[in-house]
């Protein structure tokens, strides 16, 4: 991690958000869950009915309402605090980002056409993923360290370690060794590092749309000693050659895109893989894998925490879509319960 200390105000204000999220996720939300589960021991199965059931049973539940308000408030406030905080330390961040000679190459493509869903943004990020030139740093270094890691959010429960989850998921590909890995939606390199640790001999190519995430990712991977090629492109149209990888991996990408884009991404992964190559997906588990209350909490993010495609992604039949794309040996299962949800598959030999 970047070793840049924040001033007292920014540090304390960001830590407050982590603690507030931790209280909501660790105390208010379990209290609301207990109220619901006691009132409805046999909840309905389909998502619409579950949503209606939770909304009506918890209509007057203070813990539920305050948990939701605090979660939303923190989601907005992280940018109100993290962006000024990163501005305060800009000279030191800029210096850290100036990597110079490095085994991590970066190919920016400012003329690339970003898909409409990406331009629309997600996670309530003001101005989208590139809405600030240091957005990648603000999110990777400040939001993760001060708020998301201590507080938990979305599918990551309060107290769970999101880096451990990535490390476990990375090891779930079919084979123990790979030569060439493509990671789609590589962001700032958090999962890339775990792929490198799991398959240290492999050459890794990270594909990502966000310029600030890529720039941060190059510095981060260099610092972590992870050689990689980073390419600015959409996951469904990488521009990389056919049959050039023996593993295509992605972590928490699919719930950020519409189902139509997921189908295109699966087809692109199939194209990129050599015959016999493997696919590894780490995601939020499908709706039907969760309790009624938990499914509604995750579904809530669709309208309330800038996850516009979460509902359709969690409801889609990824296994059928992968079969449609040509994959075989498809397996889907949860680690440590249901998160992360791993799906792995293979491109058949020609």
Partner 1 sequence: MTEKRPTYLSGDERLDDLARMVLELTSEVWVLKDRTMVLEHLLAAKGTLAEAEIDQFQPAAELAAVLRREREALLARVLGALLPSDDRVKSALSR
Of residues 68 and 311, the one with the C-beta less far from partner 1: 68
- Letters for 74-93 (x = contact with partner 1 by CB under 8 A, - = none) are --x-----------------
Residue 244 in the binding site for partner 1 (CB under 8 A)? no
φ and ψ at 297, to 5 degrees?
-60, -45
Say how far apart CA 228 and CA 203 lie, in whole Å.
6
**Using rule CB under 8 A, residue 55 touches partner 1:** no
Question: Minimum distance from CB of 16 to partner 1 (Å)?
Answer: 5
Q: How far is the CB of 12 from partner 1 (least distance, A)?
A: 4
- How many residues in the shown chain lie near partner 1 by CB under 8 A? 22
Gap between the Cα atoms of 7 and 86, Å rounded: 10
CA angle 136, 141, 143 (to 5 degrees): 85
Q: Which residues contact 100 (CB under 8 A, 6 or more apart)?
A: none
Handedness of CA 165, 168, 169, 170 (dihedral sign): positive
Q: Is 16 in the site for partner 1 (CB under 8 A)?
A: yes
Q: Which is nearer to partner 1, 15 or 315 (CB)?
A: 15
What's the CA gap between 173 and 235, in Å, rounded?
19
- The reply to whether 8 sits near partner 1 by the rule CB under 8 A is yes
Binding residue (CB under 8 A) for partner 1 from 26, 51, 65, 289: 65
| Least CB distance to partner 1 at residue 65 (A) | 5
**Scanning the structure block, which residue is given the tokens 């199965």?**
45
Tokens, residue 163: 């880096």
Full DSSP string of 70-139: HHHHHHHHHHHHHHHHHHHTHHHHHHHH---S-SEEEE--TTPPPPHHHHT-STT-TTSTTSSTTHHHII
Q: Does 20 bind partner 1 (CB under 8 A)?
A: yes
Does 107 engage in binding with partner 1 (CB under 8 A)? no
- H or E element: which one contains 168? helix 162-170
Positions in 119-138 near partner 1 (CB under 8 A): 124, 126
Burial class (CB in 10 A: 0-12, 13-18, 19+), 7: exposed
Q: For residues 124 and 335, which CB has a smaller minimum distance to partner 1 in the complex?
A: 124
Report if residue 216 touches partner 1, rule: CB under 8 A: no
Closest to partner 1 by CB, 13 or 296: 13
Under rule CB under 8 A, residue 114 binds partner 1: no
| C-beta of residue 79 within 8 angstroms of C-beta of residue 305 | no
Stretch that binds partner 1, among 61-69, 135-143, 202-210, 216-224 (CB under 8 A): 61-69
Q: Site for partner 1 (CB under 8 A): which residue of 72, 203, 229, 323?
A: 72
- One DSSP character per residue, 192-216 reads HHHHHHHSTT-EEEEEES-HHHHHH
Q: Does 73 bind partner 1 (CB under 8 A)?
A: yes
At closest approach, how far in Å is the CB of 337 from partner 1? Answer: 28
Instruction: Tell whether residue 52 is a contact of partner 1 (CB under 8 A).
Output: no
Binding site for partner 1 (CB under 8 A): 8-9, 11-13, 15-17, 20, 60, 65-66, 68-70, 72-73, 76, 124, 126, 303-304
């Amino acid at each position: 991690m970047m070793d840049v200390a924040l001033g007292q105000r920014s540090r304390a204000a960001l830590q407050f958000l982590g603690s507030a999220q931790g209280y909501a996720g660790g105390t208010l939300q379990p209290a609301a869950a207990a109220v619901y589960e006691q009132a409805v021991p046999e909840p309905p199965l389909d998502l619409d009915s579950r949503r209606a059931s939770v909304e009506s049973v918890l209509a007057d539940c203070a813990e539920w309402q305050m948990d939701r308000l605090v979660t939303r408030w923190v989601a907005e406030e992280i940018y109100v605090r993290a962006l000024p905080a990163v501005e305060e330390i800009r000279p030191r961040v800029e210096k850290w980002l100036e990597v110079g000679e490095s085994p991590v190459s970066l190919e920016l493509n400012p003329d690339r056409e970003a898909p409409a869903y990406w331009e629309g943004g997600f996670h309530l990020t003001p101005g989208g993923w590139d809405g600030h030139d240091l957005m990648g740093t603000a999110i990777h270094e400040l939001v993760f360290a001060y708020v998301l890691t201590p507080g938990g959010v979305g599918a990551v429960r309060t107290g769970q370690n999101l880096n451990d989850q990535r490390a476990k998921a990375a090891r779930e590909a079919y084979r123990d060794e790979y030569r060439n890995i493509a990671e789609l939606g590589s962001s700032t390199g958090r999962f890339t590092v775990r792929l490198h640790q799991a398959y240290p001999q492999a050459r890794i190519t990270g594909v990502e749309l966000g310029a600030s995430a890529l720039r941060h990712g190059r510095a981060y991977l260099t610092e972590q000693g992870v050689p990689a090629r980073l390419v600015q492109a959409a996951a469904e149209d990488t521009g990389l050659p056919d049959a050039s990888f023996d593993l295509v991996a992605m972590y928490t990408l699919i719930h950020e895109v519409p189902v139509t884009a997921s189908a295109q991404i699966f087809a692109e992964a199939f194209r990129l893989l050599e015959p016999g190559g493997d696919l590894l997906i780490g995601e939020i588990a499908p709706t039907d894998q969760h309790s009624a209350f938990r499914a509604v909490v995750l579904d809530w993010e669709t309208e309330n925490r800038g996850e516009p495609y979460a509902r359709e992604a969690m409801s889609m039949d990824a296994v059928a879509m992968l079969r449609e794309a040509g994959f075989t040996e498809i397996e889907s299962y949860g680690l440590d319960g249901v998160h992360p949800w791993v799906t792995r598959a293979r491109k058949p030999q020609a």
